[in-house]
Structure 1
Amino acid sequence: MIGGNESCTAGPISLSYLTCVAHLLGEWTGVEHLEDYLGYTVYLSWLLLPLAIAFIFPGIFFLTFIYSTVILLNIYKRKRKLSGDNSGNIWDGAKKMLTTIWDRHGRIWHGYEICGDEKIPEGPALVVFYHGACPADIIYFISRLLLEKKRFCYIVADHFVSRIPGFKILVDAFEVLHGPKEACVNTLKKGYLLIISPGGVREALFSDETYVIMWGNRKGFAQVAIDAKVPIIPVFTQNVREGIRTLGKIKILRKLYERIRLPVVPMYGGFPVKFRTFVGEPIPYDPNITAEELTAKTKAALQALIEKHQKIPGNICRALMERFQTRQKED
C-alpha cells in the first residue's frame, strides 16, 4: 500500500490512474487488493458495453429523433401564430420540413427504397403494412410519397400513441387516426391513402425474425375498404425486424402486455440494415366479397410478399451486409 504521505506519481515510475485510485480506495475502505476487483469490473464493463449499447440505442434514437420532431413542430406552430399566417393547412410547411428530414435519415441510415410504388393508384386506397418492432419504415414510406408523389397518407395508430408525453402536436400535425370505422371510411371517400397495420402493437412486439403475421380475428380494416369501395394494397418492408428487435419471446412480458395493453417489451438494435419496401398488387374492390374473405385474401397477399422478399429467419449480419453492398454500389 502507498503510505499516507506518498504520491501516486512518486518515484521514477508513475502508477496507472486505475492503480492509484485502487490504492487510495483501499486505504479508505481497508479492503486489500482492491485493484483486482476494479480491474475485473472494468473488463466486465467493456465486455458488456456492446450489449448495453444495443439496448440503450433504440431509446436514445426515440428520444432524440422523435422529440426533436416535437420541438420543431412547436417552434413552427409558434412562428405561424406570431406571423398571423394561417392560410391553407397550418401544418403543410411542417409536414414538408419533417418528411424531408425523415426521408434523408432513411436514405442515409437504411438506404431506404420503395419498390413497386407505380402500383399505387391515383385515387384512394387502403395500404396494409406488416408491423415491425418500430414503424420507421412507415414513416419513411409516407415521407417518400409526399415528397416525390405529392401524395399525403393518413395513418391509423393505437390510442396509446396520443398519450405519450408531447406527442399530441405530432398526432395533430399529421392527422393520425385512431378510428372509429366511420372516420377511416370518410378519409378514403375524400380520395386519400390510408395506412393501417392490422397486427398493431401485438404484432410489433411479439412477432419475430420468422415474420409471423399476427392479426388474430381483426377484420375491421377489410370492412372499411368494402364500405369505402377502395382497393387494398399489401405492403412489406424487407429486414424491418432486423433493424430493431424485441424480447417478445419472454412469456411473462406477453402476459403483462395482455393485461395492461402498453408496450412494455424491451427492444434492442437500431442497426443500419437495408430497408426495401415492396408494394404488392392491389386487391380490387369487390361488392360481393365479405370482410372475412377479404381479410384472408389480404393476409395471403402479404404473406406472399414476405416469402418472396424476405429470407427467413431474418439475420442481422446478412441485412447489414446487404446495406454495405448497396452502399458500395452507390459510391
Structure 2
Amino acid sequence: MEKIPNKGPALIVYYHAAIPIDYYYFLANVIIQKGRTCHSVADHFIFKIPGFKLLLEVFSVIHGPQEECVRALKNGDLLGISPGGVREALFSDETYPLLWGKRRGFAQVAIDSQVPVIPMFTQNVREGFRSLGTLRLFRWLYERFRFPFAPVYGGFPVKFRTFLGDPIPYDPDLNAAELAERVQQAVQSLIDEHQKIPGSILRALLERFHTKHKEH
C-alpha cells in the first residue's frame, strides 16, 4: 500500500478477474489504511441494473467518459480502471492473458491529467472464481450482441495476494499508444513474477497454509 500516495491523484490499472473481488478488497484497504476514496470506472451495463444506481453513487463508480475520469483525477482523487473490462472478466482464463485489444483511453486520461499510473495484479484471482466464457456460445453472444453473460462458478477460499507495481510517472514525451503499451507490460510483469501458469485451484487452496510465492 506504500505505492498508493497519501494525497494527490493516481490512476490504478488492474487485471480484471471473473468477479473482481480482489479490487473490492483493495478499495476497502485504501479507505482503511489511507483514509481515501478511490473512484472506479465500470461498464455501462452495470448502470442499467435496477436498484444499482444508489449503490454505484455511494462507491464513487463512474461509467467512464474520458472527461469525467480526467475531472476526478484533476480534483486530486484516485481512480481505478481495468482496460480489459468485461471482455477480460469473461474470456480470460487460468493462463491469465490480458485482453486489452487496442484500448488506449485510460492512457490518454493519465496523459491529460498528468498523473502517475500504478499497475495492479492479484495472485490466484482466477482460481477464486472461474468463468465459462471460453465456451464458444457465450463468446459469440458477447461479440454479436454485447450481451455480457457467461456463467461464473467458484467462491473457492484460495489465497489472494495483491501486488502493486512501481508507479509509472507522467512523461510528456509519451503518447497514448506508448503509455498504454508500457502499462500493459507493467501489469504483465506482475503476472509473470507472481502467478504460476496455468493457475490451479488446488495449489491456490494449499497456499492458504504457507507463504511460499511463485516458484520459478
Partner in structure 2 of residue 317 of structure 1: 202
Partner in structure 2 of residue 121 of structure 1: 5
Higher strand share: 2
How far 1:284 moved relative to its partner? Answer: 0.4
How far apart, CA to CA, are the structure 2 residues paired with 1:177 and 1:140? 18
Q: For 2:111, which of 226, 234, 243 is the aligned residue? A: 226
How far apart, CA to CA, are the structure 2 residues paired with 1:242 and 1:221? 27
How far apart, CA to CA, are the structure 2 residues paired with 1:159 and 1:308? 33
Amino acid at match of 2:19: C
* Partner SS state of residue 273, structure 1: coil
Q: For 1:174, which of 46, 56, 59 is the aligned residue? A: 59
How far 1:135 moved relative to its partner? Answer: 1.2
Tell me how many residue pairs correspond in the alignment.
Answer: 210
Higher normalized contact order (CA 8 Å, seq sep 6+, divided by chain length): 2
RMSD in angstroms over aligned alpha carbons? 1.0
Question: Where do 1:172-321 residues align within 5 Å?
Answer: 172-321=57-206
How far apart, CA to CA, are the structure 1 residues paired with 2:20 and 2:54? 18
How far apart, CA to CA, are the structure 1 residues paired with 2:138 and 2:65? 29
List runs of 5+ in structure 1 lacking aligned partners: 1-116, 327-331
TM-score (norm 2): 0.95
CA contact (8 A) 2:123 2:160 kept: yes
Partner in structure 1 of residue 214 of structure 2: none
Runs of 4+ in 1 over 2 A off after TM superposition: none
Partner in structure 2 of residue 87 of structure 1: none
* Partner SS state of residue 278, structure 1: strand
How far apart, CA to CA, are the structure 1 residues paired with 2:88 and 2:140? 14
How far 1:189 moved relative to its partner? Answer: 0.6
Partner in structure 2 of residue 140 of structure 1: 25
How far 1:168 moved relative to its partner? Answer: 1.2
* Partner SS state of residue 111, structure 2: helix
* Partner SS state of residue 5, structure 2: coil
Higher helix share: 1
List runs of 5+ in structure 2 lacking aligned partners: 212-216
Question: Where do 1:47-58 residues align within 5 Å?
Answer: none
Percent of pairs with identical residues: 63
Partner in structure 2 of residue 152 of structure 1: 37
CA contact (8 A) 1:160 1:262 kept: no
How far 1:165 moved relative to its partner? Answer: 2.2
Larger of the two Rg values belongs to structure:
1
TM-score (norm 1): 0.62
How far apart, CA to CA, are the structure 2 residues paired with 1:231 and 1:300? 15
How far apart, CA to CA, are the structure 2 residues paired with 1:165 and 1:239? 31
